[in-house]
Amino acid sequence: MNKVEQVTGGLNGTIKVPGDKSISHRAVMFGAIAEGTTTIEGFLPGEDCLSTIDCFRKLGIQIDAQGDKVKVEGKGWQGLTEPIDILDVGNSGTTTRLMLGILATRPFHSVVIGDASIAKRPMSRVTDPLRQMGAEIDGRDNGNLTPLSVRGGQTKGIDYTSKVASAQVKSSILLAGLQSEGVTTVTEPHLSRDHTERMLRAFGVDVDVNGLKVSVKGGQDLTSQHVIVPGDISSAAFFLVAGAIVPNSRIVLENVGVNPTRTGIIDVLQQMGAKLELFNERVSNGEPVADLVISTSDLRGTEIAGDIIPRLIDEIPVIAVLATQAQGKTVIRDAEELKVKETNRIDTVVSELKKLGANIEATGDGMIIEGPVQLKGNTVNSHGDHRIGMAMAIAGCIAKGSVTVENSEAIAVSYPNFFDHIHTLSEK
Ligand code: SPQ
């Protein structure tokens, strides 16, 4: 549980948000299947990425983790060995789905399990295509829900059209494709984050990208790398919103990843009239990076739908908080995917923000928020979802009175020092 008081003197100062979660997971997994020692700098030591490390240790890989520095002793694809223990992914959907793609081609048996939230999340979006490729996967609800048992082996390439824009689906199938016979192609309806494509190339893999189609040839090996992980824009998003809505604020966020498949939050803030600037734009290790500066802003409502949704899917809970402070209506559509995240994020955002007095309604594929509204203190619950917990804490910075966030421990999944950053910025 954590209590957040209304911030009256503004949020001011400079912070570095922790490493990107998506990139940290991939760096460990790709390092584990690569030949040689992969070193990672800027790794996110959050619970989700630590679950990935734990699973790959159980698969026989030696991994030395010291805070944000990690060393992975890869031994090539053949270096993964049958685990004697269950592979526990904790709360992490990325670990589950990407690791299933790797396990699909390994000639041994393994069992994948996670927490109560993972047990509700749909896995058939990856287990169906992986089975079509030849992997034997079973589990509750005909292989849709954990615990899942996997017996990998000889797999064939697939030409797969995904119904959802999902980097986890795309990555899982591509990873299996790397050790399958022939070519594997994944086509998605809108572009999802492309960290897998970028990092596979850095590890020496040939990846062919043609619009929404990505292909890899089977029989490809990876070579170890030094990976530098930029700050996570999904974590920065909480302070971008806080800086825009808390009066008298100016926050500098250093070293944030600004990969165009992730920057929907920047587009929305600018569309809503926020004072946001990017400095020192550069490319680090194949990923665009910048320093961001946000100041208190007059905001107007907006419409968020279509192609932009996968570019800001994880930011919608905090965008809802932002919209409560904007003049007029904000409409979010085409975001059904929110229903299958750590919680049903349409329901949890709406129920928790209503407790603070927001004018917000759920729709079938998103939500409608009317602002501006003076939020009021109350007790809310993260429902075990890190992004809901952080969004509510940011709402607490502007609510009259104080906001108590129950189950705030969930925040450690992606942003272990989140509350320290709120305190640092409010003391300046
Ligand atoms: O890993 P997990 O639990 O799925 O985490 C979330 C998050 O909010 O941190 C989603 F709940 O991020 C996903 C993201 O929504 C991470 C991710 C990735 O690293 O590939 C891709 C997105 O999911 P998806 O299903 O759209 O591919």
Is the beta carbon of 342 within 6 A of some atom in ligand 1? yes
- Longest CA–CA span in the chain (Å) reads 62
For residue 387, give the ligand 1 atom closest to its CA.
8
For residue 341, give the ligand 1 atom closest to its CA.
11
Is the beta carbon of 166 within 6 A of some atom in ligand 1? yes
Is the beta carbon of 168 within 6 A of some atom in ligand 1? yes
Catalytic residues: 314
Say if pTM beats, i.e. exceeds, 0.95.
yes
| Coil/strand/helix, residue 238 | helix
Which of 198, 313, 340, 346 maximizes ligand 1 atoms within 8 Å of its Cβ, making it the mutation to test the pocket? 313
Listed in sequence order, the residues at least 6 apart from 78 whose beta carbon sits closer than 8 Å to its beta carbon are none
Rounded Cα distance between 99 and 80, Å, is: 12
Give residue 428's pLDDT: 59
Rounded Cα distance between 52 and 63, Å, is: 11
Element (H, E) at 296: none
**What is the fold, at CATH topology level, of the domain defined by 2-19+230-426?**
UDP-n-acetylglucosamine1-carboxyvinyl-transferase; Chain (3.65.10)
Q: Which residue minimizes the CA distance to atom 26 of ligand 1?
A: 166
Is the beta carbon of 261 within 6 A of some atom in ligand 1? no
CB 184 within 8 A of CB 157: yes
CB 195 within 8 A of CB 22: yes
Both tokens assigned to 276: 């946001």
CB 59 within 8 A of CB 86: no
Q: For residue 317, is the peptide bond before it cis, meaning its omega torsion is within 30 degrees of 0?
A: no
* Annotated domain spans of the chain: 2-19+230-426, 21-223
Q: Which residue minimizes the CA distance to atom 7 of ligand 1?
A: 314
Give residue 285's pLDDT: 86
Phi/psi of residue 399, each to 5°? -75, 145
Q: Which residue minimizes the CA distance to atom 4 of ligand 1?
A: 93
CB 59 within 8 A of CB 24: no
For residue 345, give the ligand 1 atom closest to its CA.
11
Spacing, Cα 235 to ligand 1 middle (Å): 13
Residues of the chain with pLDDT under 50: none
Is the beta carbon of 172 within 6 A of some atom in ligand 1? no
Spacing, Cα 360 to ligand 1 middle (Å): 24
The answer to whether the Cα torsion of 243, 248, 253, 259 is positive or negative is: positive
Q: Where are the alpha helices (DSSP H) in 203-263?
A: 233-245
> Do 21-223 and 2-19+230-426 have the same topology in CATH?
yes
Rounded Cα distance between 59 and 110, Å, is: 9
CB 245 within 8 A of CB 322: yes
Beta-bridged to residue 284, according to DSSP, are 287
| Coil/strand/helix, residue 306 | helix
User: Rg of the chain's alpha carbons, rounded to an integer?
Assistant: 21
Q: What is the homologous superfamily of the domain 21-223 according to CATH?
A: Enolpyruvate transferase domain (3.65.10.10)
